[in-house]
Homo-oligomer: A and B are copies of this chain.
Amino acid sequence: MTHESAPPDELTFWSFVDFAVRKARQELPAVDTDAMRMALTLSRASSMVIYDLESTVHRPRGLTWPGFRVIFALWLAGPMEAKTTADISGTSRAALSALLNTLERDGLVVRERASHDRRALQLSLTEEGYGAILGGFRAHNRRESAWAEALEPHERTELVRLLNKLMAGSTDAKAKFRS
């Protein structure tokens, strides 16, 4: 059949992007390959970094990646309403509600009813939660450094600029957000 682009003998997580883009163009000539390559590469790079951080730093310390994100937000922004925590940690409210059951059970976070609005929750870190994020984040940041070394300083800056520009464009793209 396809004498064009038979899958190479060894297709890997990395090399699949190139292969997929070529193959998709054959199957669907109208495909926007630049956009395809960009999204595919973005999600793969992110997935690699996150998997590495989660499996080498956080899981061994008893935290999942989502758990880390929440504790991290509470560490830096201080006690706040659950809605805000969900927003800035990138967790939906329903997911946060479930996540808090674990974090509270493990003694890292406390839930309290907000005084000004009895529907709302006020979240804060316990002493133990504070200790967990301090130790965890140091290791986390060391690992981030190891990754970052792959790029020159000006390249890191440029990468961040491009990603920010991409996120800023989400408004025009009418992107859907978590709620």
Q: How far is the CA of A76 from the CA of B21 in the complex (A)?
A: 9
Task: Please pick, from B38, B143, B160, B169, the residue contacting A38 in the complex, using a CB distance under 8 A.
Answer: B160
On whether A159 and B80 interact (CB within 8 A), knowing A45-B167, A73-B16, the answer reads no
List A residues at the B interface (Cβ < 8 Å): 2, 7, 11-14, 16, 19-20, 23-24, 27-28, 31-32, 34-39, 41-53, 55-56, 72-73, 75-78, 80, 84, 87-88, 90, 134, 137-138, 141-151, 153, 155-160, 162-170, 172-178
Residues of B within 8 A of A150 (CB): 165-166, 168-170, 172-173
Residues of B within 8 A of A13 (CB): 87-88, 90, 177
Q: Are A46 and B48 in contact (CB under 8 A)?
A: no
On whether A47 and B172 interact (CB within 8 A), knowing A38-B144, A77-B16, A166-B159, the answer reads no
Q: How far is the CB of A61 from chain B (nearest CB, A)?
A: 15
Q: How far is the CA of A171 from the CA of B19 in the complex (A)?
A: 21
Residues of B within 8 A of A142 (CB): 32
Q: Are B56 and A176 in contact (CB under 8 A)?
A: yes
Task: Please pick, from B38, B49, B155, the residue contacting A165 in the complex, using a CB distance under 8 A.
Answer: B155
Further pairs besides A35-B141, A151-B169: 10, Cβ < 8 Å: A32-B148, A37-B156, A38-B159, A43-B46, A44-B167, A49-B166, A150-B166, A151-B165, A159-B162, A162-B162
Task: Please pick, from B53, B153, B165, the residue contacting A39 in the complex, using a CB distance under 8 A.
Answer: B53
Q: Are B147 and A87 in contact (CB under 8 A)?
A: no
